[in-house]
Amino acid sequence: MSEDSEEEDYSDRTISDEDESDEDTFMKFEDFHQCALLTANSISDPFFPRTTQILLEYQLGRWVPRLREPRDLYGVSSCGPLSPTRWPYHCEVVDEKVQHIDLTPPHSEPVYIPTGLEIEPLYANSKEDAVVYLAEDAYKEPCFVYSRVGGNRTPQKQPVDNCDNTLMFEARFESGNLQKVVKVAEYEYQLTVRPDLFTNKHTQWFYFQVTNTQAGIVYRFTIINFTKPASLYNRGMRPLFYSEKEAKTRNIGWQRIGDQIKYYRNNPQQDGRHYFSLTWTCQFPHNKDTCYFAHCYPYTYTNLQAYLSSINNDPVRSRFCKIRVLCHTIARNMVYVLTITTPLKNADSRKRKAVILTARVHPGETNSSWIMKGFLDFILGGSHDAQLLRDTFIFKVVPMLNPDGVIVGNYRCSLAGRDLNRNYTSLLKESFPSVWYTRNMIHRLMEKREVILYCDLHGHSRKENIFMYGCGGSDKCKALYLQQRIFPLMLSKNCPDKFSFSACKFNVQKSKEGTGRVVMWKMGIRNSFTMEATFCGSTLD
């Protein structure tokens, strides 16, 4: 929950027109000539109240009071480390820092073409099978209790009996997700992914490490507890793979690999629910390598903080991109908000219309973070188009709405065990702080200027291409009916090989009334969208 009290609520402040100027409205400490800086309670004069919130600067023979900057207002700093990630206290976390190189494949990666001969492994529970990995932290508490920096630090686990040919698994790192691994044959492993914390569902995201590999051996991996009846894995999508040795020696990052890929319904479990399995085979490129598998390209909270820190330390980009803390999550991680515009010192900035972009409300939809990064790279760049957009609009950007879920490796929910994108109408600020403060920030912004566009970035697990959900309008009002379709149509014209206008939908289902798209539309933003990006690829080119 947010740490701010009712009397001193700084976390949802938007930047004022004065804040959009080139220079800070407060002079820096070093700008004063022969001045002193004291807190009010260090002065014995009864004229000054006893407080640490007022700073006293001695200028031209007199004390000048001003308010101290709110703590954690900026969130990122050029001096000192990033704010540490906070985990539920019981989550086991290894000390190892996982890092990957960012590299776009030079060519489009081919999809898997099913042969019709893919087998469907069905595993019976056997006491003879060796459990080689087990993360027991998921069910120690029925709900979130409190957080600690870094979680419950623990050493890495070793394989059973230190068998030379047994793979070692690990997922107790940021955004990792793997609950259990059973070795069912010499080179075959049955995997179970962890549901979202404090729920018993949403098994979709996986991200884990494999070590003690042998090159040239065909391994089979089968994840057995998915709940969605359909998947892009049956339409050509392959699991993502990363080799540290390939990254170091050949500068190859994440790549799609795998053969014998199949997504199928397996035998029902004891609770009567039907589960679905994903199976694939692969060969590791090196002996004794450290490798990773993931559902989609990982983008962690630490990745975001490092990116924002690079912006903050850049003397050019930091002039027109102001980074603030919107609020704190339940686990007391920071939710950042960026204000991007060309700074002006006159009243013309009041005429600028606003654009709102948000992402990563669902933590397993990592493609939304990569789209957000691509947008920020562009809008903060030096192109004439970016400069024109900054001169014309004010962009409010919340790049990661659910950092708690991202950190622990959830697919859909926050640590409240709820889908934040169904709770934009909720008044429970302490339970859903990021969406509460986002809605509040947008409401206050709309009182000052027109918001012409709201777009929430997502990923889609069962459809190809990129498309949008809008809110539509009454058929009786053709202007309103057509208005919602203009921006998606523009996108399809500008990006015909990726964006599908025919896949867009413009309606409001009852089950979606708590989403950001619908709530912002009802608040008065006519162009209010959810942008969905496939986990797989494009069928348009």
User: Residue 349 corresponds to which tokens in the numbers above?
Assistant: 């900035």
Distance of CA 444 to the CA centre of its chain: 24
Interacting residues of 158 by C-beta distance below 8 A, sequence separation 6+: 168
Give the Å distances, CA to CA, from 505 to 202, 357, 485, 501. Answer: 24, 19, 9, 9
Neighbours of 460 (CB within 10 A): 20
Using an 8 Å Cβ cutoff, are 166 and 160 in contact?
A: yes
Active site residue 532: yes
Q: If you ran DSSP here, which 8-state letter would residue 42 be given? A: G
Look at residues 7, 29, 25, 4 and name the one whose alpha carbon lies nearest to residue 15. Answer: 25
Residue matched to tokens 């002065």: 43
Pairing of strands 168-170, 276-283: unpaired
What is the strand order of the sheet 62-67 is part of? 37-39, 54-59, 62-67
257, two tokens: 């690999």
Asked if 93 and 173 count as a contact pair (C-beta separation under 8 A), the reply is yes
Strand partners, 322: 339
For β-strands 451-460 and 353-359, DSSP reports them as parallel
* Residue 161 phi, psi (nearest 5): 60, 15
Q: Rounded CA gap, 400 and 338, in Å?
A: 11
Write out the DSSP string of 401-457: S-HHHHHHT-SS--TTSS-GGG-TT---TTTSHHHHHHHHHHHHHHHHS-EEEEEEE
Residue 370's SS3 state is helix
Instruction: Note the Cα 317 to chain centre separation in Å.
Output: 22
Tokens of 27: 């002079």
Q: Which residues of 357-396 are buried (b: 16+ CB within 10 A; e: fewer)?
A: bbbbbbbbbbbbbbbbbebbeebbeeeeebeebbeebbbb
How far apart CA 142 and CA 523 sit, in angstroms, is 36
Q: Which residues contact 253 (CB under 8 A, 6 or more apart)?
A: 100, 101, 102, 103, 242, 247
> Which are the catalytic amino acids?
532
